[in-house]
Structures are given as C-alpha cells and as structure tokens.
Amino acid sequence: MLRRTGSIAGARYAFTDRYGGASTAPYAELNLGDHVGDDPAAVDDNRRRLAAAMDLDPARLVLMRQVHGRAVAVVDGPQDPAAPLPEADALVTTGRDLGLVVLVADCVPVLLAARRSDAVAVAHAGRRGVEAGVVPATVAAMQELGARPDRIVAVIGPAVCGRCYEVPRELADQVTAVVPAAAATSATGTPALDLRAAVVAQLLAAGVETIEADPRCTAESPDLFSHRRDGVTGRFAGVVVT
C-alpha cells in the first residue's frame, strides 16, 4: 500500500506500491488509474483504500486527467464528482485537507511543498513533460501563490532509471537539446534518458534547493507498476496531503 511516507514542509506524503488493492491481473492489485482498462469499481475501491491509508475522506482526493503537457491546474477545494477532471499534468493548491494525487508507471512523480507557505503541488513528468517543462511551470504556479522557490521542498518518486529507459537516438537528442541532464546510456550501451536527473536539473534551475529522490527504478521493482516492463498495467500514486 504505502511504501514510502514522510513529510515535506509540514505536508504528509506517500508513494504507493502495487499491493493491498482490489484489482486483478494485469492491474493487480492497487491500480489507481481509471484510464488503463481496469474495472472502474476496483479502481474506486482502491482509491478509497488510498484515502483511508492517508487518513483522508475519499472525496478530498484531487486527481487530474494527465496528458503529458505542461498545464497546471490550481484547485481550492474538493472536486465535483460529476465534473470532468482538470486536463493537466500538475495540481497546485493552498487549500486545506486535500490529497493531491499524481499517477505514474515509469514517468516521474514530483511532490512539492513550501516552507512558510500553504502552497502544495504534484507534477507528472514523463519524457514529454520534461521536454515541455511541466516542473518549472509547477514551481512558477506555486510562486504565484506566494511560495518562494528556495523554500520549496521537492520529493521525486520512483521512476524508470536511465539504464532502463532506452530510446531511439533522435529522441534522446531531442530531449537532451532541451535538458542536457537527461542524457543517459542504457544497460546495453545504447542512447537512453534519465528523466529523474532531468527533473532535478529543472528544479535546481527554477531555484528549488531541497530535493529528495527515491532511488527505486520502476522497471526493476516488481512491486511497482512499470509500463515499460509490462505494457498493459496499473498506475501507482504519489500523494501529498495539505
């Protein structure tokens, strides 16, 4: 269920693993994504279990429809269950008792909170999000809500590592032209991308000085969902509670 928990600038956070849920293969067990072909009732059940584990009313979980872009949705309260989710790859709030959720299965989940500010955020940074700059856009949105970048604390969750994320050379060149720190070499010596290193570089460039990173690689950790390893699979979550 919750594999890594802690707090950043006073906000509780956790990353989930694949255990303790209601979904069956290939989504077993704790799939939190409702866009991957799993039974919606199982996903709802799993989200309720996540909320309970975070000691939060399930109605106070805030989700987004992630599209690999750089849009940041500012939220100030619980979501209307009848309304569509915001199409965005980052959520920012200064609201209280909300659980911001980012869903991943290899992409980089980033959780952020700022000291001496109520601003809290999550971001979803895959290859396209890194290129588009969703992480700097998230820091900018927090700044607009009163957070100083040098007081922001970021936690980067499990993601596919540079040795496992082999890509065609043209794609590697395209991304490293934007973020040189993304350059990596795969385990077999071919071009690859290190998205976590890219996110760290983007955070530092945006003025964020306090960065923790979970070293686990999704593709190498059987207890985490990995799209690269398994194709059709579930999504695990990074969640931060305000």
Q: Which residues bind Zn ion (CB under 5 A)?
A: 161, 164, 217, 219-220
Q: How far is the CB of 181 from Zn ion (least distance, A)?
A: 17
H or E stretch covering 128: helix 127-132
Euclidean distance between CA atoms 215 and 29, whole angstroms: 23
Euclidean distance between CA atoms 196 and 162, whole angstroms: 8
Q: How far is the CB of 197 from Zn ion (least distance, A)?
A: 13
Q: Is 238 exposed, middle or buried (0-12, 13-18, 19+ CB in 10 A)?
A: buried
Q: How far is the CB of 167 from Zn ion (least distance, A)?
A: 14
Q: How far is the CB of 109 from Zn ion (least distance, A)?
A: 16
Nearer to Zn ion, 132 or 193 (CB): 193
Nearer to Zn ion, 75 or 171 (CB): 171
Count other C-beta atoms under 10 Å from residue 125's C-beta. 30
Nearer to Zn ion, 92 or 164 (CB): 164
Q: How far is the CB of 174 from Zn ion (least distance, A)?
A: 21
Nearer to Zn ion, 153 or 164 (CB): 164
- Cα distances from 145 to residues 9, 93, 141, in angstroms, run 16, 8, 7
Nearer to Zn ion, 84 or 231 (CB): 231
Euclidean distance between CA atoms 219 and 224, whole angstroms: 8
> Angle of helix 195-205 relative to helix 134-144, nearest 10 degrees?
30
Instruction: Report yes or no: 122 and 86 within 8 Å, Cβ to Cβ.
Output: no
Q: How far is the CB of 127 from Zn ion (least distance, A)?
A: 15
Give, as one character, the DSSP assignment of residue 164: T
Euclidean distance between CA atoms 102 and 239, whole angstroms: 6
Instruction: Report yes or no: 43 and 23 within 8 Å, Cβ to Cβ.
Output: yes
Nearer to Zn ion, 99 or 158 (CB): 158
